[in-house]
Amino acid sequence: MPSDRVDPHLFVIVGGTGDLTRRKLLPALHRLGAQGLLDGNYAILGVSRDTELDDDRFREWARDGLETGGAHLRSWCDDRLYHIGVRGDEASYRALAARIAEIEQRHELPGNRVIYLALPPAAFPGTITALGGAKLNRSDGWTRLVIEKPFGRDLASAQKLNAVAHQYFDERQLYRIDHYLGKETVQNLLVFRFANAMFESLWNRDRVANVQISVAENLGVEDRAGYYDRVGALRDMVQNHLTQLLSLIGMEVPVSYDAEAVRYEKVKLLRSIAPVEPHDVVFGQYTEGNINGAPVVGYRHEPDVPNDTNTETFVALRLQIDTWRWQGVPFYIRTGKRMESRLTQIAVTFRQPPVCLFDSLGGCPMNPNVLILTIQPDEGFALCIDVKTPGEPFALQTLPLRFQYREAFGDIPDAYQTLLLDVLNGDQTLFVHADEAEAAWRLYTPLLERSADVHPYAAGTWGPTLADDLITRDGYRWYGPIRVSA
């Protein structure tokens, strides 16, 4: 989007002294400002429960968290950052409204506002109601509300959250963030599919044998046990990030590249996924093991994790999409913490040729063509094809045709930077619609409601062995990291 479309605005962050604000939001806003993409006229207001924190100390705290230092950073913080402590009662939200008006007057801002809820999910409904009560859902300009995932913890709570949000805000004002959609490599999935006719013509049950999506992390729960143990991998990763990848890989061609058309196709895809059978789900929890040669503790021994918890840190699923395009093509997805390596990768395995021409030569098995789309960390793709090795005896070898992002383009922008700029430009294409969030919960809520075993896996592995059985019983296997760099 061109920079001249960013209107002068006030960016209000509720949860303004939290980790997300410091690690992601302020750095992204600072970079956007430094790159001249914000048009100069804007201010940022951090809202927190800390009623003792004044503007100066908030600026100092923000400065410490930003990587780039120097005089420019100091003046950026001093000129634009403000803070207000809000206790949560009606009076303090009225005080918030007054502070907003005062800052807007000082900066001569026309009343365009982003209100970003950088809060734990349980705080969303109450905060939205309080904002509405203080009439902060409308202004003289535009008002956009940003909500971080997870959007609810099951279908009922997602519907309730959407209902509260819609009581005060129109869907056009709501920006539900799933930061995976801001990743360049994720956005590229649509370009890859719909700007390159050769792939789209192969993208169906006649040519594709199976699709697998892995989002593996080698980090553990870190210091987020308070959140994570109540949530688990299905809610934290599958319902949102992995489902977004699945939607972009599986959806039909939208009529245009805009929010309405893209989100419509994603919802359609989600609605066509068959209910997941119990034997198509594997839950796991990591036990002690080794990551990069260093010993790490099991999940139950992580700080603040109850030692008898059954929260899953790993999920593998086999999904069936009942459409003309995908009927009979299994989609396998898996995600886990403390896995062997950090890897977000989509593998599209194509069907084998109907007849193996080289069988008669003996010892010459052909491998299926596999398209590997690496979302991170080695961003790019590899198309694995069989080639003849030179000389005798006649033999085949599978080799990748590769493309690597960094080689072609250098550094890739951070997802939050992309998404915040889209919020400011009023572009909802990369945000989750209410219907989409509910469609995903409709699929996964039954899995949360039935009790399932949680299988142990050693940290530093690729998850419980049952997750291998889930795919090997169909005659396939999980792909580990396939390098896109030479």
Catalytic residues: 241
Q: How far is the CB of 338 from ligand BG6 (least distance, A)?
A: 11
Q: How far is the CB of 433 from ligand BG6 (least distance, A)?
A: 19
Select 229 or 265, whichever has its Cβ closest to ligand BG6: 229
Select 236 or 265, whichever has its Cβ closest to ligand BG6: 236
Q: How far is the CB of 9 from ligand BG6 (least distance, A)?
A: 26
**Bridge partner list, 396:** 388
Q: Judged by CB under 6 A, which of 236, 265, 302, 438 binds ligand BG6?
A: 236
Look at strands 289-291 and 113-117 and give their pairing: unpaired
Phi, psi of 161 (to 5 degrees): -65, -45
Output DSSP code: residue 300.
G
Q: How far is the CB of 236 from ligand BG6 (least distance, A)?
A: 5
Instruction: Report CA 478 to chain centroid distance, whole Å.
Output: 22
**Bridge partner list, 456:** 285
Give the Cα separation of 252 and 246 in Å (integer).
12
Give the Cα separation of 250 and 193 in Å (integer).
10
Q: How far is the CB of 176 from ligand BG6 (least distance, A)?
A: 13
Is 39 a binder of ligand BG6 (CB under 6 A)?
no
Select 43 or 339, whichever has its Cβ closest to ligand BG6: 339
- Which are the contacts of 27, defined by CB distance < 8 A and separation ≥ 6? 65, 66, 67, 414, 416
Give the Cα separation of 266 and 432 in Å (integer).
10
Q: How far is the CB of 46 from ligand BG6 (least distance, A)?
A: 22
Site string for ligand BG6, 171-210 (x = CB under 6 A): ----------------------------------------
Cβ atoms of 369 and 384 closer than 8 Å: yes
3-state DSSP assignment of residue 106: helix
Select 115 or 234, whichever has its Cβ closest to ligand BG6: 234
**Bridge partner list, 397:** 387
Select 265 or 340, whichever has its Cβ closest to ligand BG6: 340
3-state DSSP assignment of residue 400: strand
Instruction: Report CA 48 to chain centroid distance, whole Å.
Output: 25
Which structure tokens are listed for 179?
């930061």
Give the Cα separation of 152 and 444 in Å (integer).
12
Q: Judged by CB under 6 A, which of 217, 280, 288, 427 binds ligand BG6?
A: 217
Select 154 or 236, whichever has its Cβ closest to ligand BG6: 236
3-state DSSP assignment of residue 314: strand
Residues of the shown chain interacting with ligand BG6 in the complex, contacts defined by CB under 6 A: 217, 236
